[in-house]
Structure 1
């Protein structure tokens, strides 16, 4: 089969389409002819040699896909049949003509969705669902601050938080991104390039602060995050794109406010964890995609022949929502 490969660790110019061994599944898997996949920051890190795939995962880039079932493992025949349209989360291997996924982790593509729309869902929405509800324990009536609100995970988290009856504040880096977040349902949107977000979010919450923060930035936001959290607040660290070292940390406010700080990654979780997460998410979200309450946000669609351009576009941080690759 053909797949996007990496000549050697480095920039986007190292990506090319070449021949790679077609994957083979077990009795618990289905083989999917991939029609679309989507970019994630992890793809860039892996391309640069900074984020190796988990043990046993495909070394091919790509953490999600949508496509058509070609082969069905013996234990999956009551769930799927050849020709079914499916989408789902992968530990790797999405930038290829074929991918294998456990039958229990695949989800049906809604009749009214394109493959491109379906491919834009898994990583963003499952990460958002996990961090909001499984780790962040967000409840109706609470307030959440979502950093990188215009990212794939950010745009998903805004919608999920609102669907659960919570209030959502976000940070974003341009007025276009800020307005896009407001249109998705964010109650407050702060342009972080215009100065610290702390006072603006605090004012918008009547001085109370927030119950939960989802943070991709890390060290530069540490002090503002701790200050902004209410008593018993939760901080979920999803990434540290701005840096991972915080100098001269004081534990006083963490203790005084009984704060809980959790770091998480989804890719390295066990199959059982990701299966349970997928199935719970599908029960919650698929009906809401059907009625329009939730929707994938796609910034641009590239053919995989233009994968280098797509990676450069993500590295420029220009996208609002997901960047999708089509695979002919």
Structure 2
């Protein structure tokens, strides 16, 4: 590392699991970039549900990852590890990381770094990696969404949801979503959802059946789980696909597999954090080719709800826990 860098930095520590108050500012040494890694002076970091799960003790970092929360960042490359060829100091990047994002400096695998899209600020760029990597791999690769098909997104007002709505529309799909109130419904429909279904007042299965002429939807992106599973199966069309990416309800339920067989459904799911650098790099290449031009053109944008100073990460998590937000919650780390 260069001599111009400070010896210490502020980061958010998690000395014990619990509520938002478990997140406390601390001071420690800068991380050192390993082989094929870069050190990024972090301008902003995104707050995501996996960070909440880690805070609660339900989602440990993978082996070798930083124990500091935070899975997505944007900032300036200030040092290079051995073997880095495609990046240089001074580059403005956003990156998916295995941990360490809630900090003034963060080490990031070079292959998981992407250039800041033209026209976006560093704050906006920091809102991209976790949601865009997740949506691309689950909706378009695992879920095989095609133009002309129908997609139901649960939790449409979340960071994942607002991203999935925009990208699916750009690639020619009809999009429906579930939300918890009228304000969130209006926001999702403004982003391109054909219909936002208030799950507190309506049965989403009945609504999507009506909207599709009784056929059901081709793909469901579910981050709720629990008793949504049998209802998702009912809402899917013949040859439909369900992609499970998180659980806000229990992951264990009693389930009748016969409807799945009769409709020839595909039930699948994935996690992103434990994947290898090579696997994440493959997603990054797809995003750079197929999605970054849409961001540069302004066809899709990250939706940012509120930004907190790094030291107020606990307040950001309290907002996340409340589910009041529409889009992303961010930390200003500069």
Task: Place the TM-score, normalised by the shorter chain, in its bin.
Answer: over 0.9
Q: TM-score, normalised by structure 1?
A: 0.97
Deviations 1:16-73 (A, max 9, x none): 1112332112331111000100101111111121111001100000000000010123
Q: Provide the C-alpha distance between the structure 1 equivalents of 2:193 and 2:173, rounded to a whole number of angstroms.
A: 10
Q: Provide the C-alpha distance between the structure 1 equivalents of 2:270 and 2:118, rounded to a whole number of angstroms.
A: 33
Q: Provide the C-alpha distance between the structure 1 equivalents of 2:277 and 2:35, rounded to a whole number of angstroms.
A: 15
**Secondary structure in structure 1 of the residue aligned to 2:32:** coil
Residue equivalent to 2:286: 280
Residue equivalent to 1:316: 322
Q: 1:188 aligns with which of 177, 186, 195?
A: 195
Deviations 1:206-245 (A, max 9, x none): 2111111000110121121101111111100111112212
Q: 2:307 aligns with which of 284, 294, 301?
A: 301
Residue equivalent to 2:137: 130
Residue equivalent to 2:103: 96
Deviates more, 1:265-274 or 1:23-32: 23-32
Q: How does 1:233-248 map to 2 (within 5 A)?
A: 233-247=240-254
Q: Provide the C-alpha distance between the structure 1 equivalents of 2:209 and 2:332, rounded to a whole number of angstroms.
A: 42
Q: How does 1:72-91 map to 2 (within 5 A)?
A: 72-77=80-85, 79-91=86-98
Residue equivalent to 1:168: 175
Q: TM-score, normalised by structure 2?
A: 0.95
**Secondary structure in structure 2 of the residue aligned to 1:45:** helix
Task: Say if 2:57 is the partner of 1:49.
Answer: yes
Deviates more, 1:103-112 or 1:50-59: 103-112
Residue equivalent to 2:5: none
Which sections of structure 2, spanning at least 5 residues, go unmatched? 1-8
Measured after TM superposition, the shift of residue 298 of structure 1 is: 0.5
Q: 1:156 aligns with which of 160, 163, 169?
A: 163
Q: How many residues are treated as equivalent by the alignment?
A: 326
Q: How does 1:256-275 map to 2 (within 5 A)?
A: 256-275=262-281
Q: Provide the C-alpha distance between the structure 2 equivalents of 1:239 and 1:312, rounded to a whole number of angstroms.
A: 19
Residue equivalent to 1:214: 221
Is contact 2:147-2:173 (8 Å) kept?
A: yes
Q: Provide the C-alpha distance between the structure 2 equivalents of 1:232 and 1:54, rounded to a whole number of angstroms.
A: 34
Residue equivalent to 2:6: none
**Secondary structure in structure 2 of the residue aligned to 1:20:** strand
**Secondary structure in structure 2 of the residue aligned to 1:2:** strand
Residue equivalent to 2:4: none
Q: Provide the C-alpha distance between the structure 2 equivalents of 1:104 and 1:306, rounded to a whole number of angstroms.
A: 30
Which sections of structure 1, spanning at least 5 residues, go unmatched? none
**Secondary structure in structure 2 of the residue aligned to 1:295:** coil
Residue equivalent to 2:35: 27
Measured after TM superposition, the shift of residue 110 of structure 1 is: 2.5
Q: Provide the C-alpha distance between the structure 1 equivalents of 2:111 and 2:15, rounded to a whole number of angstroms.
A: 34
Q: Which runs of 4+ in 1 moved over 6 A?
A: none
Residue equivalent to 2:72: 64
Q: Provide the C-alpha distance between the structure 2 equivalents of 1:156 and 1:62, rounded to a whole number of angstroms.
A: 19
Residue equivalent to 1:202: 209
Is contact 2:95-2:129 (8 Å) kept?
A: yes
Q: Provide the C-alpha distance between the structure 2 equivalents of 1:74 and 1:269, rounded to a whole number of angstroms.
A: 22
Q: Provide the C-alpha distance between the structure 1 equivalents of 2:217 and 2:22, rounded to a whole number of angstroms.
A: 43
Measured after TM superposition, the shift of residue 74 of structure 1 is: 4.2
